[in-house]
Amino acid sequence: YIICSYIISFVPYHSIFLPSKMATTSNYHLMLMLGPIFLVVNCILYISVTMRTTELNALKDVTVEVQAIKDGVEKSLEKLNREVYGSDKSSTSVNTLEERTLPSNEAGPIEKEVEDSLDTEAEKTEPEQQEAPEAPEAPEAPEAPEATFDLSEWKTNVCNGGEYKSSICHEVFVLPNKKVTFCSAAKVASTTVKQYFYDISDGALKIPEGAKFGAHEADWKKLQSLDPEARRFVLRSDAYTHVFFWKNVLARFVSGYLDKVVHDCEQHATLKPHLAITHYVQYGFSCDEHKDLASFVEFMENVPSFEGHFAAQTPLCEYGVYPFTDVIEANESLDTKLVDLSAKLGVAHPGSETEKTAKHKTGAAEKMASLFKGREGLIPRILNLFAEDCKRLPEACDVKELMDALEKEE
């Protein structure tokens, strides 16, 4: 079009190529006007098409970049999917993320008693007169997504490394000669529990000479130390008993607070590396500012990661996934429950050391009521710190007995 416009614009000057009748003055002026008009119109069209083509090319480049980002996100989600669920069989995309659920695990009858015993004496607080508070509801953790979970594949591959890493690999202990495994988080009567299993091991376990922490330092066999074939047998065999010990969330938190915060702060002018509370120094913890219960709760609400004595107990033992057959609350009747467990395992129930460690009671219910008197608002905040425990094992967040005890002090 542009070339033609140029030719037309010069035709009047070369009228010798036209018939003589067109070589008139009027035709000359008409051709002189039309030529530039055609040139301008076609130049505008050319510029418009060129700009539109540039826009389309840019849009195409953006589309390619977006697709590349989408592909990268899909790969990241697939990787996350494998890390969380231990399986990459279910497809995950940017637009649709399959929901999953973990299989439910029957906990059996669990007694509704509060607390075993606190490891140290609680600081006394002045009771204040006020109306009896209502029991706060346990916080709701985010609903678990519903979908499939290949438990059989998990049992086959857990602790094999890679995407099948799990805390149970080093938190679950195995007694092959008694066909039993157990898991007990820190501050869940772990000393009593380990002493019990050490006592029934029939010499299979040895405590090093000069050990400062007794049964804790025995040569325990962990789930990850088994070879893959033996591990699969343990997880699949009906002959094995798998025991999960748990403790009331509030009682466990208070026990950890009194022992690892109040006691250690009073006994150590300088926090030493082996102390549990040293983990929180990196987040700004100091005994002067956070030894008070209310201050410590507020501090923990802003901490990104908990040390083992305060970490949630159900995720640590993979409750709801690991095939526990017996779920035992570590409270004041723990020794009676261990007697029943001995009968189930077909072993003579040990006395002496196990009973001794199980009886260091300090009036847990009364001490808890004294500690929270006038500070009932801290109770739901503490429960909220352990929402995962409350979701997986609601009994662990039952505070009815504590609230009854608080009401009696009115």
- Angle, helix 364-372 to helix 400-408, in steps of 10 degrees: 70
Cβ atoms of 175 and 197 closer than 8 Å? yes
Task: Give the DSSP letter string of 24-41.
Answer: SHHHHHHHHHHHHHHHHH
Burial of 404 (0-12, 13-18, 19+ CB in 10 A): middle
Q: How confident is the model at residue 48 (pLDDT cuts 50, 70, 90)?
A: confident
Q: By C-alpha distance, which of 68, 109, 115, 76 is closest to 93?
A: 76
Average pLDDT (46-62) is 74
179 pLDDT above the threshold of 80: yes
Q: What is the mean pLDDT of the chain?
A: 77
Q: Which two tokens stand for residue 39?
A: 């040139």
180-193 b/e (C-beta count within 10 Å ≥ 16 → b):
bbbbbbbbbbbbbb
Query: Which of 24-38, 72-86, 173-187 is least confident?
Result: 72-86
Average pLDDT (81-98) is 42
Question: What per-residue confidence (pLDDT) applies to 366?
Answer: 74
Q: By C-alpha distance, which of 134, 127, 189, 185 is closest to 379?
A: 134
Question: What per-residue confidence (pLDDT) applies to 125?
Answer: 35
Question: What per-residue confidence (pLDDT) applies to 83?
Answer: 53
Rounded percentage of the chain residues whose pLDDT exceeds 70 = 64
Q: Is the dihedral of CA 254, 256, 258, 262 positive or negative?
A: negative
98 pLDDT above the threshold of 50: no
Model pLDDT for residues 220-233, shown as the tens digit of each residue: 999 999 999 999 99
Rg (CA), the chain: 37
pTM, rounded to two decimals? 0.62
Q: Which two tokens stand for residue 96?
A: 């649709």
Tokens 């509030």 correspond to what residue? 250
57 or 264, greater pLDDT? 264
Q: Which long-range contacts (CB under 8 A, 24 or more apart) does 95-100 make?
A: 98/147, 99/145, 99/146, 99/147, 100/144, 100/145, 100/146, 100/147, 100/148, 100/149
β-partners of residue 319 are: 322
Tokens 């083509």 correspond to what residue? 53
Cβ atoms of 244 and 324 closer than 8 Å? yes
Question: What per-residue confidence (pLDDT) applies to 201?
Answer: 95
95 pLDDT above the threshold of 50: no
Question: What per-residue confidence (pLDDT) applies to 122?
Answer: 35
Give the C-alpha separation, 30 to 357, whole Å: 115
Question: What per-residue confidence (pLDDT) applies to 160?
Answer: 84
Helix (H, G, I), strand (E, B) or coil at 268: coil
- 130 φ, ψ to 5°? -165, 170
Average pLDDT (171-196) is 95
Average pLDDT (149-171) is 83
145 or 232, greater pLDDT? 232
Average pLDDT (333-341) is 95
Per mean pLDDT, which of 150-154, 196-200, 356-360 is the most reliable?
196-200
β-partners of residue 397 are: none
Q: Which two tokens stand for residue 102?
A: 């973990």
Cβ atoms of 362 and 117 closer than 8 Å? yes
